[in-house]
């Protein structure tokens, strides 16, 4: 069973690990190491933290593993410290701030646990490590192999995505397998995109909707790891192949790999959220994001299917005068069927 739950899908790492082209010898070795590392996160909700009576200020700490694998490493920047001059450490610090700012300013949530959890991260993890991941308590960033991937702090959507896995853990705890696992990945993509869009001040129509933009080196024919607006189009490269994400239930991938295709089938709910955000217009974090956030706080099963999640978002959307837009979006990706109603059940 695949257990890697970092930003780079295991199917892509396996492909890179099998490359026999001398131009990508370092990348192949780095991918093999990333697969062997098998970092994990997600799968179980933490006990609900009681929001503190007073505001708990943001607390960030960035560590440096100095190319080792012992966590957390040496502290290089704590909350309020000036920039270090190490671009990875400073990008991580700023990315934590942007993510926390979205949660606090927009959703009145104090950190990912709503109780002021300090945001911890480690940069320069491993030697040419090809991934970034949330391990249940902190963020970890590799520097990339330099041939296919650059440093993983370079993409704000990646930082937001991985911290959003923590948000999922502290709310509904979507089980990291099959459709609930694909929803876990999709929700992380949603909030990763929202963090990036809010930091840039972009409307839904202005945003790229790319996850992991800037991770690939110039040698790769690709824009990002995933596209939420057009799943399956993020990259098309002679060496890496073509982005395999589906955008509709007609193309749902049945597989036992990648925990039942969690990084693949997340393209379907990703596309639904993009349709909601662009259908509503304006800033995606204001209404579309709020609907998704409130859905996480609701009575949703940790093993929710796409249909169950869709019904839950439509129910929440009723309170925001957006139910028709949300329903139409799920119908467009083949999840919401004409016979589906709020009272219907699904297995």
Cis bond upstream, residue 222 (ω within 30): no
Whether 263 is a known active-site residue: answer: yes
Whether 307 is a known active-site residue: answer: no
Q: Name the active-site residue from 37, 147, 162, 185.
A: 162
CA 277 vs CA 194, 272, 318, 329: distances in Å: 10, 9, 15, 10
CA 157 vs CA 7, 97, 108, 184, 224: distances in Å: 10, 13, 21, 15, 10
Q: Name the active-site residue from 63, 161, 263, 274.
A: 263
C-beta separation of 150 from 186 below 8 A: no
Active site residues: 162, 263
């Amino acid at each position: 069973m695949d257990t890697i739950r970092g930003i780079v899908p295991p199917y892509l790492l396996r492909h890179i690990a099998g490359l026999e082209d001398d131009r990508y010898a370092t990348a192949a070795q780095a991918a093999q190491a990333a697969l062997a590392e098998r970092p994990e996160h997600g799968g179980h909700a933490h006990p609900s933290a009681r929001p503190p009576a007073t505001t708990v200020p943001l607390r960030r700490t960035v560590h440096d593993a100095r190319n080792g694998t012992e966590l957390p490493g040496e502290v290089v920047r704590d909350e309020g410290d000036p920039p270090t001059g190490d671009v990875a450490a400073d990008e991580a610090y700023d990315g934590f701030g942007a993510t926390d700012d979205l949660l606090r300013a927009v959703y009145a949530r104090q950190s990912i646990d709503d109780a002021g959890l300090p945001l911890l991260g480690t940069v320069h993890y491993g030697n040419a490590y090809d991934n970034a991941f949330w391990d249940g308590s902190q963020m970890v960033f590799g520097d990339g192999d330099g041939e296919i991937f650059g440093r993983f702090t370079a993409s704000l959507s990646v930082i937001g995505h991985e911290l959003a896995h923590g948000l999922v853990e502290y709310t509904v705890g979507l089980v990291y397998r099959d459709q609930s696992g694909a929803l876990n990945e999709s929700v992380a993509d949603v909030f990763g995109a929202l963090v990036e869009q809010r930091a840039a001040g972009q409307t839904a129509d202005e945003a790229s909707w790319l996850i992991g933009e800037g991770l690939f080196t110039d040698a790769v024919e690709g824009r990002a790891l995933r596209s939420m607006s057009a799943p399956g189009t993020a990259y098309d490269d002679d060496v890496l192949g073509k982005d395999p994400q589906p955008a509709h239930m007609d193309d749902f991938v049945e597989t036992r790999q990648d925990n039942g295709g969690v990084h693949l089938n997340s393209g379907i709910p990703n596309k639904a959220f993009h349709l909601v955000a662009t259908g509503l217009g304006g800033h995606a974090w204001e209404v579309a994001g709020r609907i998704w956030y409130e859905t996480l706080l609701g009575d949703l099963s940790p093993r929710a299917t796409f249909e169950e999640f869709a019904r839950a978002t439509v129910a929440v959307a009723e309170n925001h005068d957006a139910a028709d837009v949300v329903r139409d979006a799920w119908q467009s990706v083949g999840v919401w069927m004409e016979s589906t109603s709020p009272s219907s059940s699904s297995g």
